Amino acid sequence: MPEPVTYLEGTAAPLERNHVDTDQIIPARFLKGTVKQGLGACLFYDWRYRPNGPHAEPDLDPDFVLNQPAYAQAPFLVAGHNFGCGSSREHAPWALKDYGFQAILAISFADIFCNNALKNRLLPVALPEPVIRTLFLDLQSQPQQQRIQIEVDAQRVTFVPALSDGTETVAFALNPFWKTCLLKGVDEVGYTLSQADAIDAYETAQLPAWMIPPTLPASIAQ
């Protein structure tokens, strides 16, 4: 059973970019493993490191946001439009989670990434553009001070904008099914397996015979 996710709190790293694609999140050359663990080391690899020729170890790029000490421990990442576009590789949320992120706050997300993130209990939080812009500014000027609270059940994000006295609370959308999965730690495979009767019934009554591929003789299959 996955761990329930109900409340998250912490600082955030501002990644002020749109269309952060999965090839940036984890370049394809790191997809040759057969386990989910340990991919944090490859996260944003070509942004975190500067190549040093083919034979030397690369250098850390001090300008990249995650290499700045102020953001090193942040559990949240803030980004622009269309975060996670590109491939369906679940290595992207695995790498983000393994690195230590618990939620991504962005203006919008790519569909497949959003799905993959939720399945790994990495919370995709879509917030209105002005809120994200405020967060970028605040996080860049006062990285340590900004503590963001995310309440899953209430579907809200709370933080203290630098230029105001009070707190700002913003609602975010979350599909009710996903919300239950997060709050209760539902295992989706188990959930669907519990509907085995309905699946059996579909296969008996509705799966057309022409849809079942013939078993080919080995000569053709090879």
Partner 1 sequence: MTHLNSFNTPQTLYQKIWQRHLVSHQAEDAPAVLYIDRHLVHEVTSPQAFAGIQQRGLRLRRPDLTFATMDHSIPTLNQQSTWPDAQAAQQVAQLVENCKIFGVPLFGLDSVHQGIVHVMGPELGLTLPGSTIVCGDSHTATHGAFGALAFGIGTSEIEHVFATQCLLQFPSKTMAIEVSGQLPLGVSAKDLILAIIARIGVGGGTGYVLEYRGEAVRALSMEGRMTLCNMSIEAGARAGLIAPDDTTFHYLSGRPYAPQGKQWEDALSSWKQLPSDPDAVFDTTVHLNANTLEPMVTYGTNPEMALGISQSVPDPRQVADSQSRQGLEEALQYMGLTPGQPLVHQPVDVVFIGSCTNGRLEDLRAAAAIAREQRVAEGVRALVVPGSQQVKRQAEAEGLDEVFKRAGFEWREPGCSMCIAMNGDMVSPGQVCASTSNRNFKGRQGPGSRTLLMSPAMAAAAAVHGRLVDIRQDFSQSVLAAVASQGG
Residues at the site binding partner 1, with contacts judged by CB under 8 A: 17-19, 21, 23-24, 27-29, 31-36, 46, 51, 80-82, 85-90, 93, 108, 110-112, 115-116, 119-120, 175-177, 180, 188-189, 191-193, 195-196, 198-199, 201-203, 205-216, 220-222
Cα(118)–Cα(103) distance, integer angstroms:
10
Between 4 and 147, name the residue whose CB sits nearer to partner 1: 4
* Closest CB 73 distance from partner 1, rounded Å: 27
Question: How many Cβ atoms are within 10 Å of 178's Cβ, its own excluded?
Answer: 18
Between 11 and 113, name the residue whose CB sits nearer to partner 1: 113
* Closest CB 159 distance from partner 1, rounded Å: 22
CA atoms within 13 A on the CB side of 134: 18
Between 69 and 214, name the residue whose CB sits nearer to partner 1: 214
Cα(26)–Cα(16) distance, integer angstroms:
18
Cα(159)–Cα(58) distance, integer angstroms:
37
* Closest CB 210 distance from partner 1, rounded Å: 4
Nearest to 91 by CA among 155, 160, 28, 156: 28
